[in-house]
């Protein structure tokens, strides 16, 4: 009896160990499959998912992953079969019904697609991919009002989604709502332009990964489209490629200022002038930022340094850029006479230079408000 | 009851087997060498990777000497800086001898343009009864007037159609219905040798993408009726600076009796110019749903064609695209709007391919239009950085199953299409007048392929030549509706379509096993309608405008 008990115990332990090892292996393959899938290395991902299924043929998530690979490769029949296997294993995820619905849509089985999208939304009413796809299948079926209803429900969560705006426009067009259609078409065009610009910049980065220009271009696109987090990331990448790239520091600090975080701009300019002590704009901006934060000594120090460097630059090369910079420094130092004279000199070099004209206007405004203050 | 059920099952099975065998009935035989077509396309490559080298050229099937046999015109490119051919690459005209062979008559005919050629289209622009020829170039385009004696005269300057930008596609049609064909020319991009730069993909040298270049607006020339043309681009409302035009095709998609125009652009929205009937057009591409794919992404569209693949009396559209962009099949729903049915119709198979030429044609004479797509990557180094595709590719013959779906039959039974080529433009036409459509393919920097359709005529057929009287002489834009039992088909006479090419101007209809043609309705651009009833199939007929009006 004791012997029998020991045998059972040993067998249980070994089975537990084998099972644990199996689980560990399964997890490894599953993670690997997901990684490959994310990297669009479909053949390798497929291989890994198949290993997972060999280890546990009852794991529905593996069928879901596998189905997604087939769908990405437009192998609709196999994808359909695989998703159905996952569903038969009682996997109640909205994603799986949604993706099977997509396959049905691609095959023209619209009623079945509608049923799957509705099932996905029954599981999770906020699952926007299913709602968008439901809109799309209604559109394909010619039910444009229904499609618009679903698309409009998705719109708050998917602003900037090209497919959504494009198809919403097509449905409005079908419904005779020409102005609404035109608006959506315009938005779709803007999104495409943004994406094209991103693609070009990303291509530049792929082709010359060590050159900061591509990162700068990408950052500017993000900055122009009010995506500061992505812009910061790309500017930082540019600085990592070239630590002496003053325009990258300036762009980062400008973004901070634009988003009302002046305090964060200061260390950026400080780093910049630390890297290049002759960076005139850095000193000027530090002077102005310290002025704002009531740190007169620091402000005077940087403005003085900026002035010294700018005077030298303008003397050596009296072009419009150097003269405008020098004038701006005089303006910051409230030396209006010198500022005015410098901008006028700049306008002699390039008579219609808009920046010099704008600065000159600022000088005159500052003078006026200064004299008003004195009179008061 | 049981007997009836058995009979029904047997009939069903017979239908299945008949269909399963349809692809096996198709056979193309490569007869290029046997036909004495010694043409060789030269793209002028020298390792500099000028973008010009990628686009290849078109071909034409047209009867230049009026002997009812289709002759062949090949457009050639030219040497570029750094390349030196022993003899200058030249466009070539081959005369059809009527015995399956051709004779090079280029020099005698005087059509051996040596510009950096791209596309061609044929039409009788001066209504003198002879087909003239327009050729697009990187540089000045050329209009050859047919003298009617086997020779042509270059009348480009006199006619005022020598657009000097980089033109690709061209098509004649009488958009203002004045009896003279006008001319639409697509212009591609603003290319300059001076600003040429290299591009790379994963460290491999490549041609730069079209997004690297500015587009070039297309041109519409209005025929003045006196041998000259006027640039009507702006007045007609087809000026569009964003275009990177490649293929162009005319067709009356809204069945209102005037020709509309579809332009395929590379990496830009495609244009559908709806004819307003007053000499102007409106681009309704985005309204109609044919400017981009179902996700709103613009495509790298090359070839385009109109055709009624589901026989519902409305012209549908095919636009063939770059790699990873499914060829777009747009179903015409009601003459105003289209639905993108690419995936449902089976176009996903095109994803690894770069498509160029496209044509709706009934290859097996079964009464519905099939599709031929010419493929070939534009990056000759693609295999070094992308293992999902190849530079030479299979062309795709897609058989219409009559239920809205196309099945790729290229590799099953179509011997002449099994080779992998770097194909560009192609033309379809019945060069041997045996009742089925043959195929002539231009391959980039390579010899062309003439593929004789060996078994298409197992189904009955009719070929219709149109001669306009009030309308333009070639009858371009004429809508023909043919009724055989419950099968009704439509098509239109087109000059210039697909990718930079000219198909047989005669309309071909397969009618399967039908023994009689009940009715042929011919609607001319002038509005005249001719009707012919109860006609035997398997013949080539000529219909003159007004000869059968009721």
Residue at token pair 């290299």: B198
Q: Once rounded to an integer, what is the mean pLDDT over residues A79-103?
A: 94
Buried/exposed code over B193-214 (b: 16+ C-beta within 10 A; e: otherwise): eeeeeebebeeeebbbbbbebe
Average pLDDT over residues B427-448: 98
Average pLDDT, stretch B386-415?
A: 90
What is residue A18's predicted lDDT score, i.e. its pLDDT? 56
pLDDT surpassing 70 at residue B45: yes
Query: Is A108's CB within 8 Å of B287's CB?
Result: no
Between CA B156 and CA B137 the distance in angstroms is: 12
| pLDDT score of B10 more than 70 | no
Q: What are phi and psi of B453, to 5 degrees?
A: -75, 110
The yes-or-no verdict on residue B279 having pLDDT over 70 is: yes
Q: Does residue B300 have a pLDDT over 90? A: yes
CB contact under 8 A, A173 and B289: yes
pLDDT of residue B549: 87
Residue B132 pLDDT > 50: yes
Q: Residue B284, Cα to own-chain centre: how many angstroms? A: 22
Task: Name which of A107, A142, A207 is nearest B199 (Cβ-Cβ).
Answer: A207
B215 with B264: CB under 8 angstroms? no
Answer whether residue B308 shows pLDDT above 80: yes
Structure confidence at residue B198 as a pLDDT band (50, 70, 90): confident
pLDDT for A266-290, tens place per residue?
A: 999 999 999 999 999 999 999 999 9
Nearest residue to A284 (alpha-carbon basis) of A333, A346, A340, A243: A333
- Using CA atoms, how far residue B329 sits from B171, B306, B323, B350, in Å, is 21, 10, 16, 12
Contact A173 B294 (CB under 8 A): no
The answer to whether the Cβ–Cβ distance between A169 and B298 falls below 8 Å is no
Portion of chain A with pLDDT greater than 70, in percent: 94
Q: Which of B212, B289, B351 sits opposite A74 (nearest CB)?
A: B351
Quote the tokens at residue B351.
Answer: 């994803």
Confidence of residue A1 (pLDDT cuts 50, 70, 90): very low
A344 in B contact zone (CB under 8 Å) = no
Q: What is the pLDDT of residues A6-25, one digit of tens each?
A: 444 444 444 555 577 878 88
| DSSP H or E segment with residue A8 | helix A2-38
Q: Which residue has the tokens 């002699």?
A: A348
Answer yes or no: do A207 and B296 touch at CB < 8 A. no
What integer best gives the mean pLDDT of chain A? 91
Q: CA-to-CA distance for B217 and A137, rounded, in angstroms?
A: 36
Say how far apart CA B99 and CA B105 lie, in whole Å: 16
| All residues at 6 or more sequence positions from A281 whose CB lies less than 8 Å from its CB, including other chains | A246, A250, A306, A325
Check A207 against B200: CB less than 8 A apart.
yes
DSSP3 helix / strand / coil % (chain B, rounded to 5): 10, 40, 50
Q: Is A104 within 8 Å of A110 (Cβ atoms)?
A: yes
pLDDT of residue B414: 67
Give residue B309's Cα distance to chain centre. Answer: 15
Range of lowest pLDDT (A36-40, B410-414, B449-453): B410-414
Residue B411 binned pLDDT confidence (cut-offs 50, 70, 90): confident
Dihedral sign, Cα of residue B56, residue B61, residue B65, residue B69: positive
Q: Lowest mean pLDDT: which of B13-17, B139-143, B324-328? A: B13-17
Query: What pLDDT score was predicted for residue A9?
Result: 45
Per-residue pLDDT for B375 more than 80? Answer: yes
B368 or B21: whose pLDDT is higher? B368
Helices (H), A225-275: 228-241, 246-258, 262-275
Show which residues on chain B lie within 8 Å of chain A, measured between beta carbons: 199-202, 209, 211-212, 286-289, 292, 294-298, 333, 337, 339, 341, 343-344, 348, 351, 404
Q: At what angle do helices A246-258 and A228-241 cross, to 10 degrees?
A: 160
List the single range of A331-345, A361-375, B482-496 with lowest mean pLDDT: A361-375
Rounded average pLDDT over A187-193: 95
Backbone φ/ψ region at A354: left (φ over 0), alpha (ψ -120 to 50), beta: alpha
Q: A112-154, pLDDT tens digit by residue?
A: 999 999 999 999 999 999 999 999 999 999 999 999 999 999 9
The per-residue pLDDT for B1 is 47
Tell me whether strands B219-223 and B152-154 are parallel, antiparallel or unpaired: unpaired
Kindly tell me if the per-residue pLDDT of B547 is higher than 90.
yes
Q: What totals of helices (H) and strands (E) does chain B contain, helices first?
A: 4, 39
* A–B CB contacts, 8 A cutoff, strictly below: 58
Percent of chain B residues topping a pLDDT of 90:
89
Contacts of A207 in chain B (CB under 8 A): 199-200
Which pLDDT does position B425 carry in this prediction?
Answer: 98
The model's confidence at residue B3, banded by pLDDT at 50, 70 and 90, is: low
User: b or e along B394-430 (b: 16 or more beta carbons within 10 Å of the residue's beta carbon)?
Assistant: bbbbbbbbeeebbbbbbeebbebbeeebbbbbbbbbb
Confidence label for B24 from pLDDT (cuts 50, 70 and 90): low
Tell me what pLDDT residue A13 has.
45
Angstrom distances, CA of residue A73 to CA of A104, A105, A258, B298, B388:
15, 15, 44, 20, 11
Query: What pLDDT, on a 0 to 100 scale, did the predictor assign at position B2?
Result: 54
Per-residue pLDDT for A262 more than 50?
yes
- What is the structure's pLDDT at B349? 87
Tell me: the pLDDT tens digits for A45-60?
999 999 999 999 999 8
Q: What is the DSSP letter of B296?
A: S
pLDDT of residue B413: 60
3-state secondary structure (DSSP) of residue B510: strand
User: pLDDT tens across B153-169, in order?
Assistant: 999 999 999 999 999 99
Whole-model pTM: value is 0.87
Instruction: Select the residue of B199, B295, B343 nearest A166 (Cβ to Cβ).
Output: B295
On the question of pLDDT at B40 being above 70, the answer is yes
**DSSP one-letter code for B385:** T
Give per-residue burial for B234-266: e unless 16+ CB within 10 Å, then b: eebbbebeebbbbbbbbbbbbeebbbbbbbbbb
Q: Is A318 helix (H, G, I), strand (E, B) or coil?
A: coil
Q: Given CB atoms, is A165 within the 8 Å cutoff of chain B? A: yes
Cβ contacts of B335 within 8 Å, gap of 6 or more: B253, B254, B255, B256, B314
Enumerate the β-bridge partners of residue B71. Answer: B62
Cα distance from B408 to chain A (closest Cα, Å)?
Answer: 15
Give A183's contacts in chain B (Cβ within 8 Å): none
Please report where in the chains the tokens 């409230």 appear, as a residue: A334
């Amino acid at each position: 009896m004791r012997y029998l008990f020991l045998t059972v115990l040993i067998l249980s332990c070994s089975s537990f160990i084998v099972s644990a090892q199996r689980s560990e292996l399964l997890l490894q393959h599953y993670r690997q499959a997901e990684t490959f899938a994310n990297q669009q290395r479909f053949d390798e991902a497929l291989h890994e998912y198949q290993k997972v299924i060999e280890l546990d043929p009852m794991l529905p998530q593996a069928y879901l992953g596998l189905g997604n690979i087939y769908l990405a490769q437009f192998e609709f029949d196999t994808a359909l079969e695989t998703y159905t296997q996952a569903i038969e294993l009682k996997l109640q995820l909205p994603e799986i019904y949604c993706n099977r619905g997509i396959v049905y849509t691609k095959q023209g089985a619209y009623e079945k697609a509608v049923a799957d999208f509705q099932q996905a939304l029954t599981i999770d009413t906020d699952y926007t991919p299913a709602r968008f796809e439901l809109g799309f299948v209604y559109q394909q079926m010619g039910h444009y009002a229904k499609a618009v209803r679903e698309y409009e429900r998705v719109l708050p969560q998917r602003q900037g989604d090209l497919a959504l705006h494009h198809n919403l426009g097509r449905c409005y067009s079908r419904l005779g709502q020409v102005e609404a259609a035109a608006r959506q078409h315009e938005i779709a065009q803007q999104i495409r332009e943004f994406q094209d610009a991103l693609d070009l910049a990303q291509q530049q980065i792929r082709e010359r990964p060590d050159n900061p220009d591509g990162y700068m271009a990408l950052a500017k696109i993000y900055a122009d489209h009010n995506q500061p987090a992505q812009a910061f990331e790309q500017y930082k990448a540019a600085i990592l490629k070239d630590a002496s790239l003053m325009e990258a520091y300036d762009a980062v600090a400008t973004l901070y200022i634009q988003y009302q975080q002046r305090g964060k701009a200061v260390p950026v300019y400080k780093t910049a002038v630390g890297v290049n002590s002759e960076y005139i704009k850095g000193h000027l901006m530090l002077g102005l930022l310290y002025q704002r934060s009531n740190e007169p000594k620091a402000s005077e120090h940087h403005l003085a340094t900026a002035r010294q460097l700018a005077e030298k630059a303008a003397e050596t090369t009296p072009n419009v850029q150097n003269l405008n910079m020098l004038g701006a420094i005089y303006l910051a130092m409230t030396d209006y006479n010198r500022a005015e004279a410098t901008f006028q000199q700049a306008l002699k070099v390039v008579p219609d230079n808009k920046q010099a004209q704008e600065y000159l206007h600022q000088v005159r405004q500052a003078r006026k408000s200064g004299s008003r203050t004195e009179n008061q | 009851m049981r007997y009836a059920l058995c009979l029904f099952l047997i009939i069903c099975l017979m239908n299945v087997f008949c269909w399963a065998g349809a692809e096996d009935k198709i056979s193309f035989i490569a007869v290029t060498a046997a036909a004495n077509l010694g043409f060789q396309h030269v793209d002028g490559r020298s390792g500099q990777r000028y973008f010009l080298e990628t686009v290849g050229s078109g071909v034409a099937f047209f009867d230049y000497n009026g002997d009812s046999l289709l002759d062949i015109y090949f457009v050639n490119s030219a040497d570029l800086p750094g390349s030196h051919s022993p003899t200058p690459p030249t466009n070539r005209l081959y005369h059809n001898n009527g015995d399956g062979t051709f004779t090079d008559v280029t020099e005698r005919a005087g059509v051996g343009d040596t510009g950096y050629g791209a596309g061609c289209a044929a039409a009788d622009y001066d209504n003198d009864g002879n087909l003239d020829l327009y050729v697009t170039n990187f540089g000045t385009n050329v209009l050859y007037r047919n003298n009617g004696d086997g020779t042509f005269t270059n009348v480009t300057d006199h006619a005022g159609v020598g657009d000097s930008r980089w033109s690709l596609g061209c098509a004649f049609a009488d958009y203002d219905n004045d009896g003279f064909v006008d001319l639409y020319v697509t212009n591609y991009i603003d290319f300059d040798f001076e600003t040429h730069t290299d591009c790379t993909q994963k460290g491999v040298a490549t041609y730069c993408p079209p997004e690297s270049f500015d587009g070039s607006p297309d041109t519409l020339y209005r025929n003045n009726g006196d041998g000259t043309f006027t640039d009507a681009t702006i007045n007609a409302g087809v000026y569009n600076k964003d275009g990177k035009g490649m293929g162009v095709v005319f067709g009356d998609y809204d069945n209102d009796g005037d020709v509309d125009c579809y332009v395929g652009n590379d990496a830009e929205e495609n244009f559908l110019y709806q004819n307003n009937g007053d000499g102007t057009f409106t681009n309704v591409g985005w309204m109609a749903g044919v400017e981009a794919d179902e996700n709103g992404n613009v495509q790298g569209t090359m070839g385009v064609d109109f055709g009624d693949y589901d026989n519902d009396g409305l012209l549908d559209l095919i636009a063939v695209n770059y790699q990873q962009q499914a060829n777009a099949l747009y179903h015409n729903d009601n003459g105003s709007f289209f639905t993108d049915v690419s995936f449902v119709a089976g176009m996903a198979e095109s994803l690894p391919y770069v498509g160029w030429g496209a044509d709706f044609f009934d290859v097996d004479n079964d009464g519905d239009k099939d599709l031929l797509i010419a493929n070939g990557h534009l990056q000759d180094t693609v295999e070094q950085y992308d293992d999902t595709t190849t530079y030479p590719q299979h062309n795709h013959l897609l058989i219409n199953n009559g239920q809205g779906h196309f099945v790729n039959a290229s590799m099953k039974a179509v011997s002449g299409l099994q080779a992998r080529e770097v194909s560009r433009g192609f033309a379809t036409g019945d060069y041997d007048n045996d009742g089925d459509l043959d195929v002539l393919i231009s391959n980039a920097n390579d010899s062309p392929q003439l593929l004789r359709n060996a078994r298409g005529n197992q189904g009955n057929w009719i070929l219709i030549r149109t001669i306009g009287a009030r309308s333009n002489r070639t009858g371009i834009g004429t809508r023909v509706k043919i009724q055989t039992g419950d099968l009704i088909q439509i098509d239109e006479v087109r000059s210039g379509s697909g990718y930079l090419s000219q198909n047989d101007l005669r309309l071909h209809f397969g009618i399967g096993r039908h023994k009689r043609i009940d009715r042929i309705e011919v609607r001319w651009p002038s509005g005249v309608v001719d009707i012919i009833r109860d006609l035997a199939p398997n013949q080539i007929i000529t219909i003159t405008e007004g000869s059968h009006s009721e």
